Structure 1
Amino acid sequence: MTSSIRPAARENSRVALVTCDLFPDLWDDDHPLRDSLRERGAEVDAVRWDDPAADWASYDLVVIRSPWDYVPRRTDFVAWARSVPTLLNPADIIEWNTDKRYLGELAGAGLPVTPTDFVAPGQTWTAPTTGQWVVKPTISAGSQDTGRYRLPEQQDLAEAHVARLQAAGRIAMIQPYLAAVDTEGESALIYTPGPDGELAFSHSIRKGAMLTGPDEGNIDPGSEQITPRTPSEAELDVAARVLEHIPGGTNRLLYARIDLIPGPDGAPLLVELELTEPSLFLTEAPGAATRLADAILARL
């Protein structure tokens, strides 16, 4: 018979939920996780990743949640991650996953990834002659510095966007705009540890289209149109294949989010594999925050 008793924290267990100064009390979606951990007896603090007064060694676990200001300081962020031995997800995953060139690795392994061209500083980019295209940097979060361009009408704007990223020493990535996002939306499949500690499907949501045109600055993460969604068998199959290619395996991970959009033939394509600081949409699925809290306490 399966026990219904939930894990309780060890006496004096301390958990840090990592955030940034934009959200000193965490992003709203993480409040149920914080509250669930506290209900189980853990001491929980929201701590900025770059807080010089933070005593990371005093925490039993340090869980990355919303450090969404790290992009211009990614080198410092990775160095910080490597200095925290109890970090989840672990630092080598953070380093790999915060540079979207991992998409090229996954495509090379035969996974169905949105076609992506990478253009480094000093390289020449020849714009496609037609179609809609997305330009963004390989290191970004929350759709920052991301734009959607219709060619050839907006060719000058697209080329200027790539040149602007290159001039800042950043690598640009160019992808076809997947039109199905306007009708079907984007599926985000969230995985957290099951009772055996291995990543298991938790829940899924639908995100509406956000990119309406050329890069116009940051996008408010609260502006997304989010609704619950049941994933298709094809989406679950792609997600399972993606998880098999995570460096070091999935048993080290506390969470994974796999973002998919149908391609031109209707089959799901990987848009992003979120292993660093993704919104987990815990308020959209009953029990999701509880399951994640249980998984955190199990790691203690």
Structure 2
Amino acid sequence: MIDRATLAQAVTLDRFTSPDGAPLNSLLAINQLPVDCRDAIYRTLLYDKLLARFNIDLITLRNPLGEAVVVIDASPRIGAVEIKIWRQLADRDPVLYFQFADTATNQLIVLLFVVNDPTAPRFDVDRDWGGEPTKFGTLSRNIEAEEAAMRAGLAPGQVRRGLRISREMVPVVETFISRLGHEYYFLEPLAYHTAILFESFGCAYSHGRKRMEWINAEFAAPDGELFKRLDGSTPFRQPGAEKTVRGRSWAIHDGILGEPFTDIHMYKHIGFPAQHLTFPGGAW
């Protein structure tokens, strides 16, 4: 159990430090601390408003059923961390899932950031007809579930609607990264709509901006290659899909590019948001 003094110390210091006062600058360094010290630091990533919404105690991290519903997976052998927050352990999906890692150049990358509303209907896009994982549609797909999710207003990869708190949580994440002494962090969007969302957070492209601009141009122009491929040949390629971020993302998920949506790399300079949008004025 982490006491209040330990938790308060982690929250109030400008830089994260080890017990001997040495500044910490990587997840690996955090993971090699005693577990109480390690977890006190990672607790600063927990959003109080989210915990309060599901009546999770900030100190004990237990729900009203007495269940420990925050899981921190941080091996001392690797520079990575996974954090899951559950409403209750019987739920199929966590409310919040983080996955961060150190890079080879001692920077930090956000690998996954998922928010689920546990009260919303679930769409099994993450499992194919045989019950096998689809890996975000890269290994296989559940077309029936994807159609239903799309009609319900979800984007590719979403099993439930979110809680509309991602933007509120950006300062929490950036404060954590700043306290490791970093001015930048990196992201790799897994889908078109994720890249557009990251743009709205002030992220820029280290690789892939020209491709994103090409995608916009080819969807926007009536004689554009992607516009012409919205021919109604599948439920995900309906005319008019070019008008929205979700519509474009579903078409891309359906293979309209003729190749996977990969190799898009982004970064954020903390305190200096980029202003470049590759789908300016696009409706979600």
TM-score by length of 2: 0.25
Higher relative contact order (CA 8 A, sep 6+): 1
Query: Of Structure 1 and Structure 2, which has the larger fraction of its residues in strand?
Result: 1
TM-score normalised by length of structure 1 = 0.24
